[in-house]
Amino acid sequence: MTPHIESNKEDIAKTVIMPGDPLRAKMIAEKYLTDYKLVNSVRNQLAYTGYYKGKRVTVFSSGMGNPSMGIYSYELFNFYDVEEIIRVGSCGAFDKDLDLYEIVLVDNSYSKSNYLEELTDEVNNILSSNNDLNRQILDTANKLKIDVNYANVYCTDVFYNHVDIDYLRENYNCIATEMETFALFSNAMKLNKKASAILTVSDNLITHEETTSEERQNSFNKMIELALESIK
């Protein structure tokens, strides 16, 4: 047990699929897992451990933002011996041609966050996801005939900010923005673990198209299936 997780160590699988939304975690468990059980409900950050086609997996909600992701992924990696975490979440597109529901596999996360510096004293604003995990995901996407945009994202600490999209695209090749990858990749780097992120475009900052909160909770099935098939 930790201050934020009530599970026993044996309750948590070595592989974790990590949505931000607790209700999305619940939906994933109910729709895709067999023999699952609720293993955490502290602060309503729901987590379930079960089996996907014979593979033991935990689905654990992270909450929103780098600090929340930072707490849960750190404790899972450091105290529960989790080996790999795949974030499954939403992102806002910086490209008018990046349609709603398209899939983004994160290569690098650029951020102005000082999370890594607070954690390690290292100053670095660009962190990479894990190459081995990404190869698994890309190979699986190819088998499933799922189109994937393998690219960089901007990880922000402020949702309602006025980002300079042209600057981020031209200098860091970012095609979308989200709020959790930088902390996840920081913890993975510090603790020598594996982490990646598969994102679904929920809104487009150029065209102003957007999905509803219900759609974000329940309709990102392609991303979820890609993550689960990749770790099978």
Q: Is the pTM of this model over 0.85?
A: yes
Query: Is 166 a catalytic site residue?
Result: no
**Residue 1, in any domain of the structure:** no
**Residue 193, in any domain of the structure:** yes
| Beta bridge pairs of residue 192 | none
Q: State the CB neighbour count (10 A cutoff) for residue 142.
A: 11
**Residue 4, in any domain of the structure:** no
Q: State the CB neighbour count (10 A cutoff) for residue 40.
A: 25
Q: Which of 11, 107, 157, 203 is catalytic?
A: 203
Q: State the CB neighbour count (10 A cutoff) for residue 54.
A: 7
Q: How far is CA 177 from the centre of its chain?
A: 12
How many domains does the structure of the chain reveal? 1
**Residue 142, in any domain of the structure:** yes
**Residue 29, in any domain of the structure:** yes
- Which residue range is the domain that position 95 belongs to? 9-231
> Residue 195 has what pLDDT?
98
Q: What is the DSSP code string of 151-204?
A: EEEEE-S-SS----HHHHHHHH-EEEEESSHHHHHHHHHHHT-EEEEEEEEEEE
The pLDDT averaged over each successive group of 10 residues in the chain (232 residues) is: 91 98 96 98 96 98 97 98 97 94 97 95 96 97 96 94 90 97 98 98 92 72 96 90
Residue 59 and residue 24: Cα distance in Å, rounded? 9
What single DSSP character describes residue 123? -
Residue 82 and residue 16: Cα distance in Å, rounded? 7
**Residue 161, in any domain of the structure:** yes
> Residue 219 has what pLDDT?
59
Provide the 3-class DSSP secondary structure of residue 6. Answer: coil
**Residue 65, in any domain of the structure:** yes
The CATH number that applies at residue 161 is 3.40.50.1580
**Residue 91, in any domain of the structure:** yes
Q: How far is CA 187 from the centre of its chain?
A: 13
> Residue 212 has what pLDDT?
82
> Residue 216 has what pLDDT?
66
Q: How far is CA 158 from the centre of its chain?
A: 17
> Residue 161 has what pLDDT?
79
